[in-house]
Structure 1
Amino acid sequence: MQTDARVGAVMEGGGGQRVFNTGHGAVVVDGGAAGAACKLMEQQRKEKERALHDHQPRIGTVSQLIAGGVAGAVGKTCTAPLARLTILFQLQGMHTDAANLKSASIWRETTRIIKEEGYRAFWRGNLVTIAHRIPYSSVSFYAFERYKNLLQLVLGVESPGENISKDLAVRLVGGGLAGITAASVTYPLDLVRTRLAAQTNVIYYRGIWHALRTISREEGATGLYKGLGATLLGVGPSLAISFAVYETARTHWQFHRPDDSTVLVGLGCGSLSGIASSTVTFPLDLVRRRMQLEGAGGRARVYKTGIFGTFKNIFKTEGLRGLYRGILPEYYKVVPGVSIVFMTYEKLKQFLSNIPDG
């Protein structure tokens, strides 16, 4: 074996010689040693990924639930104004002729809310948002870790980094199951949050408990679960993509830049995660919002044919653009929102892992 001083040079010479870049120079090996060198480099990569995984903060069940809940509440509170704008845009066209709809303008709607409802209106329904987000985030983060561990056992994944396709499958399926679990448990609060945020000048629901009682009385217990099907169809893929993109991006980032701060990694990878999941699942989220408002405030029903009938109706009357109504404020919301959630979660895990047991 001989060393070539040209760093990064790749060539194949006579006799089956190959050059491998080791980071300190190019090492020339004969064909017989090439396979062993490849195995050594792959083993070193796996050991590095395993070391990164082993150094992730470890916390107990209660601490993990707290970290997930607080992270969700912080993220939602910071982006509440954009969340309300998204809901209002999504509901355009529900009780208005599509031909008479004005093009969505964030600035115009923001000005209208400030003028007619005041600044506090941007956080209308935020209390119920937090009441929903704390258990939702707690359950989703906790369930993801549990499902991930279970799937690793089922698929025979002894340690992350050994099989990229299995790692991705674990993250996608685990994220989807976590989303379905969390959404099913906390759905009535999500429905109430939507109805409170959708109120403008006429206040029909006076708060969380009043809304829960009114909906149960006027629409029955099933009224609290309107749009659950669309929610599960959307939240499964949404969290599947979100967790998969975040975990994959974080692993790749920390592998190549292990000294970067947790805050930077959380914000960067969270942004990619939010954009990817929102783009794919936004039409289902819009359908869910509109189904949640069926019969609200005594209004006549608009969509009477279920999830797919509602989807078809919106597409027919408002076009493809109608299915993405409100996507701009959604992007403005989701990039900082998801980033803040993941960053807060990682920092809280780091903090809570340093607290001695007992």
Structure 2
Amino acid sequence: MLLISSYNKYTGGHRQKILSMDFVIGGLAASGACIFSNPFDVLKTRMQLQGELRAKGEHSVHYRNVFHAAYVVVKNEGLRGVQKGLGVAMVLHGLRNCVRLGLYQTMEKKGFLTNSEGKTVFYKSAVASAFAGATGAFFGSPLFLIKTQLQSQAAKQIAVGHQHGHSGALEAVRTIYLQHGILGLWRGVNGTMLRALVGSSSQLTTFALTKDKLRENEFLRQSTLLTSLIASIFSGLIQTIMINPFDVVSTRLYNQEVDANGKGVLYSGVSDCFRKIFKTEGLSGMYKGVVANYMRLAPHSLFCLLFWDILKDLKKNYIDERR
């Protein structure tokens, strides 16, 4: 009995460490991907704020398209301009995806997302990834708020949206906390949770289903890397189409000026933001920065999901060798 008890204690602790690794792997994968995707995140943020609540032709156009935006930012702010908020973004995506991918991987390993043949069930994956995404978004919301405000800060001649004037991430946290308390750091959380619910569900479900389909091909079944590469590119496209309107709303809610009570000056909430954008900017307003968003999400999705699969394989090989 003593031996059995000792064995159970050991294996239980070992399983707990393996489970923890799933969360760490998700965070590392996303942080690494962020280095490549952050410049497009900066451009996307600027383009989404350009012409805020103004009809087409009634505002200055500093950024004509993603390539012109890159040129304008580099010209006026240097190369550092396209990597604004990188440190915060890496921590943000690491934290959010530690939770998001860790939860999803845990549910997948427990068999909650697949059928008896081991193939992904659409509705189960959609619900699980939506829940995991929204949970990760809640915990990462303060960092997303700060990242958005840092990325929107631009040289005066090309500035769009409200300029918060933060000197850095820590100063931003301190200022927001002193002015509006802990709840001020979670302002706009509803928008980002809705954004994550849609984005995570479309990304992870499409990624899993596409990989299942690709594995029906004998050649692709032997190449985890190529299968993950193709699936991540396709999932990034679907995710961009689904997420962009929610992304615009989330960016606007995070970046808007607030009054002394911490209430938004332009938008009172998610539904009010949707209504005002559609009314003044039309459907095209919901898809501002969509190309930049795809150019951000495609490499981020590609590298994040690719790193995720590679790290999972390394973990599996390590566990197999220890047995």
Q: TM-score, normalised by structure 1?
A: 0.75
Identity %: 23
What residue number does 1:184 align with? 138
Shift of 1:73: 1.0
Q: Write the distance in 2 (CA, Å) between the matches of 1:333 and 1:245.
A: 18
User: Could you give the per-residue CA deviations for residues 72-98 of structure 1, whole angstroms, max 9, x where no partner exists?
Assistant: 011111111111100100111227665
Q: Which residue of 2 aligns with 1:88?
A: 46
User: CA 1:261 to 1:150, structure 2 compared with 1: closer, same or farther past 3 Å?
Assistant: closer
Q: Which runs of 5+ in 2 are unaligned?
A: 1-16, 157-163
Matches of 2:183 and 2:38, distance apart in 1: 27
Distance 1:304 1:256 in 2: 50
Q: Deviations over 1:39-83 (max 9, x none)?
A: xxxxxxxxxxxxxxxxxxxx9223222221111011111111111
Aligned to 2:124: 170
Counterpart-to-counterpart distance in 2, 1:214 and 1:151: 45
CA offset at residue 221 of structure 1? 2.4
2:118 corresponds to: 160
Match among 188, 197, 218 for residue 227 of structure 1: 188
1:271 touches 1:334 (CA, 8 Å); kept in 2? no
Structure-1 residue corresponding to 2:286: 323
Alignment of 1:164-313 (within 5 A): 167-201=121-155, 204-257=165-218, 258-295=220-257, 301-313=264-276
Query: Cα offset for 1:196?
Result: 0.9
- In 2: Cα distance, 1:345 partner to 1:77 partner: 15
Change (3 A) 1:85 1:225: same
Q: Tell me the equivalent position of 1:70.
A: 28
Distance in 2 separating the partners of 1:151 and 1:309:
40
Q: Distance in 2 between matches of 1:259 and 1:147?
A: 23
> What is the one-letter code of the residue matched to 1:113?
V
Measured in 2, the distance between the counterparts of 1:180 and 1:197 equals 23
Indicate conservation of the 8 Å contact 1:315/1:322, yes or no.
yes
Preserved contact between residue 97 and residue 136 of structure 2 (Cα < 8 Å): yes
Of 289, 303, 317, the residue aligned with 1:354 is 317
Residues 1:219 and 1:94: Cα distance change in structure 2 (over 3 Å):
farther
Shift of 1:181: 1.1
- Is the 1:147–1:177 contact (alpha carbons within 8 Å) kept by the matching residues of 2? no
SS in 2 for 1:195: helix
Higher helix proportion: 2
Give the alignment's TM-score, normalised by structure 2: 0.83
- Give the match for residue 13 of structure 2: none
Partner-residue secondary structure (3-state), 2:51: coil
CA contact (8 A) 1:151 1:170 kept: no
SS at match of 1:354: helix
Q: In structure 2, what is the Cα distance between the partners aligned to 1:236 and 1:112?
A: 33
Write out the 4+ residue segments of structure 1 that deviate beyond 6 Å after TM superposition: 296-300
Which protein has the larger Cα radius of gyration, Structure 1 or Structure 2? 1
Instruction: Tell me, in whole angstroms, the C-alpha distance in 2 between the residues paired with 1:211 and 1:242.
Output: 31
- Aligned pairs, number: 294
User: How far apart are 1:219 and its partner, in Å?
Assistant: 3.0
CA distance in 1, matches of 2:310, 2:230: 14
The alpha-carbon deviation at position 146 of structure 1 amounts to 3.0
Note if contact 1:152-1:170 (Cα within 8 Å) is conserved in structure 2: yes
Q: Structure 1 unaligned runs (5+)?
A: 1-58
Q: What is the RMSD of the two structures over their aligned residues, measured on CA atoms?
A: 2.6
Q: Name the CA distance, whole Å, in 2 between partners of 1:183 and 1:315.
A: 25
Counterpart residue type for residue 124 of structure 2: V
Q: Sort the Cα spacing of 1:221 and 1:300 in 2 relative to 1 into closer, same or farther, 3 A.
A: closer
